Amino acid sequence: MDKLKSVLSGEEANREDRTVLETVNQASTLSWATRVKGFVVCFVLGAGCTLLGVGLLFIPRIGIILFIVLYTFGNVCALCSTMFLMGPVKQLKRMCDKTRALATIIMITCLVLTLCAAFWWKNFGLCILFCILQIIAFTWYSLSYIPCAREAILKLVAVCLC
């Protein structure tokens, strides 16, 4: 109701200091049921693309390209699925927290470099390397949402190496 009042009174038109993030946040007022449905659809689409990409990997000549495109798109969909639960602004803020910033940067960089290695450089060894780095970065990023999970993994690795 407040928004309707501000639009009708002309205050909305005079507000030029509103940021893009505020605009996106206001546009993303979905009900909880719609958010859950959006999350499930986006996550299932991402997982399906990833699995389809793995299945198409062994097609001669075009399999690696299909794998890279579908795998990268699947990761992006899986990452975007959580934006339905939290909202895009909150998700972006959490991605940039100091505990997740490095994993986020590495993950996004590897997503871009995977596509660059496939389409511009045509170096499929680098594609596979960047896909592996995507997996590691995405896993490390995801573990940051589970309390004490990163510390447990680090301790497990330290025990296995000794």
> Has residue 15 been placed in a domain?
no
> Has residue 24 been placed in a domain?
no
> Has residue 19 been placed in a domain?
no
Kindly list the distances between the CA atom of residue 61 and the CA atoms of 55, 117, 123, in Å, as whole numbers in the listed order: 14, 16, 13
> Has residue 7 been placed in a domain?
no
The parent domain of residue 72 ranges over 30-161
pTM of the model: 0.71
Domains in the chain: how many in total? 1
> Has residue 40 been placed in a domain?
yes
> Has residue 11 been placed in a domain?
no
> Has residue 95 been placed in a domain?
yes
> Has residue 104 been placed in a domain?
yes
Per-residue pLDDT in tens (0 to 9) along the chain, 162 residues: 555 455 445 555 445 556 766 666 566 577 888 888 999 999 999 999 999 998 998 888 888 889 999 999 999 999 888 888 888 888 889 989 988 899 999 999 999 999 999 889 888 899 889 999 998 998 998 888 888 888 999 999 999 987
